[in-house]
Structure 1
Amino acid sequence: MTMSKAVVTVVGKDKPGIIAGVANTLADHNINILDVSQTIMSDIFTMSMLINLEELEGQFNVLQDDLNKLGADLGVTIHTQREEIFDAMSRV
Structure 2
Amino acid sequence: MSQSVISVIGKDRVGIVYDVAKILAENQINIVNISQQLMGEFFTMIILVDTSKCSQSPQALAQLFADESVRLHLEIRIQNEEIFNAMHRI
Give the TM bin, normalised by the shorter chain: over 0.9
Residue 42 of structure 1 deviates from its aligned partner by: 0.9
Q: Which runs of 5+ in 1 are unaligned?
A: none
Give the distance between the partners of 2:4 and 2:49, measured in 1 at CA: 5
- Calculate the TM-score normalised by the size of structure 1: 0.90
Give the SS at the match of 1:91. coil
- Calculate the TM-score normalised by the size of structure 2: 0.92
Runs (4+) of structure 1 exceeding 4 A deviation are none
Residues 7-42 of structure 1 deviation map (CA, whole Å, 9 limit, x = unaligned): 000011111221111111111111100000001111
- Root-mean-square deviation over aligned CA pairs: 1.1
Give the distance between the partners of 1:68 and 1:17, measured in 2 at CA: 18
How many residues matched?
Answer: 90
